[in-house]
Chain A
Amino acid sequence: MKNRSLVSINDYSKEEYLKILDIAEEFEKNPKQNIFEKYVVATLFFEPSTRTRLSFESAVNQLGGKIIGFSDASSSSVKKGESLKDTIKTVANYSDLIVMRHPLEGSARFASEVSDVPIINAGDGANQHPTQCLLDLYSIRKTQGKIDDLHIAFVGDLKYGRTVHSNVIALTNFKCTFHFVSPTELKLPSAVKRHIKESNLEYYQYTDLSEVIPKVDILYMTRIQRERFSDPMEYERVKNAYILNGNMLANSKPNLKVLHPLPRVNEIDENVDEMKQAYYFQQAKNGVYVRQALMAAILGVK
């Protein structure tokens, strides 16, 4: 993985991301090491995403690296009309690795082609966000001790949720069974289902959340946004059907964990937060270790 960009989850093989998860485990035990001392990491956020940026910057800081960059495009030369190519080529002169988030789909792939240093895609529009996917795999393995042979439910907006799409595609490398819970309007696209079929894995679709809870090891919740509905009445009708609250977990398997990419709005009731099934805050914390592992592998220090 040394010097190789990570734009899309498919850029790395299963063995490569398992390797990153192994390195992440080392960092979880010992997150503060001085191994990035010689390196400058650029974080270019052409659109703001405080959570993701802080996670990357914390990862770099804890390893002793330096950070340059910007947190939204209005404060940068992009505002003055500089092309993406010129911005990337310039920053590549000043850094060893570029982490970028950009509102346009395909921007990170393009950047990886013009940059002399590797690019980590921290989100390109609705397309890819591979470090979210890696930290989700890490969280699944961490809580279940394995990724194979699990029953995994994805709940909420499965049509537009890019996190769900990349996770499903990554998980087809493992022997998982999928359970998809969504309103009819927001079902998983057939292009993603095709990946499951091609991997000879099984999936089931539901519109009722409570039905799926006793069956699964992982319950991956996502947000449902009002603007995704062509009919606002339909949104009002379904919005409360996909809210998880504590008493719904009464019949869950003992090993069930609830994941969520955060930020949440109201789809997980706060009464779940203190329950043993709640894992979403730890999941966010795992993001730091996984990002440390990825950057360390790309910089060639692990």
Chain B
Amino acid sequence: MESKKLRTELVVSALENGTVIDHIPSKNVFQVIKILNLDTFDNQILFGTNLDSKRYGKKGIIKVKNKFFEIEEINKIAIVAPSATLIVIKNFEIIEKKPVEVPGIVDKFIKCINPNCVTNHENIHTRFTVIDKDAMKLQCHYCEKTTSKENFIFI
């Protein structure tokens, strides 16, 4: 147990400069990668899933070398990983550590559930207002219908 904890910390602290996203639910790690478009980055990226966590049993973690995100950017992941923590590292030291917050507006990366919504027929970026942060209900800016967490499809 002790050695596993040490290893996890090493994974985190081994970063000289960059961002660590910790406490991601394991099953959502790939969604977070997609939401932040990490698959298109040239930076060195390490990620892990099903790591042991005192708080959550199992967790996922993502480290991105030499990359510092805008808070609005990182808050997007709260849609799928509201428990995540953002850790900013400079010169091997933790400069900042804070939980992500559910944003008021969600742009571009979730599909509207309404098949008759204009965003599903024309070339339009989706946009939603978060109307219920706990149940994660999003209201489409265009068709005004509600898309909930269990129906999220990522674009």
Contacts and interface: CB of A to CB of B under 8 A. Distances in A.
Interface of A: 8, 83-85, 102-107, 109-110, 124-128, 191
Given A104-B121, A106-B112, A110-B142, 19 more contacts: A83-B123, A84-B118, A102-B118, A104-B117, A104-B122, A104-B143, A105-B114, A105-B118, A105-B142, A105-B143, A106-B117, A106-B119, A107-B142, A110-B118, A110-B122, A124-B143, A125-B116, A127-B143, A127-B144
B31 interface: no
Interface residues of B, number: 17
Interface string B140-151: 111111100000
Contacts of B122: 83-85, 104, 107, 110
B89 to A, nearest CB: 40
A110 B124 contact: yes
A102 B117 CA distance: 11
Nearest to B131: A191
B110 to A, nearest CB: 15
A109 B141 contact: yes
12 contacts: A83-B122, A84-B118, A104-B118, A104-B122, A105-B142, A106-B142, A106-B143, A106-B144, A107-B122, A110-B124, A124-B118, A126-B116
Contacts of A106: 112, 117-119, 140-144
A103 B120 CA distance: 13
Nearest to B119: A106
A195 to B, nearest CB: 13
Interface of B: 112, 114, 116-119, 121-124, 140-146
A110 B116 CA distance: 14
Given A125-B143, A128-B144, A105 B117 contact: yes
A224 to B, nearest CB: 21
Given A83-B123, A84-B122, A104-B121, A109 B142 contact: yes
A225 B2 CA distance: 67
Contacts of A126: 116
B151 to A, nearest CB: 16
Contacts of A84: 118, 122
Contacts of B146: 191
A163 to B, nearest CB: 15
Which of B123, B142, B145 lies at the interface centre, i.e. has the most chain A CB atoms within 10 A of its CB?
A: B142
B117 to A, nearest CB: 5
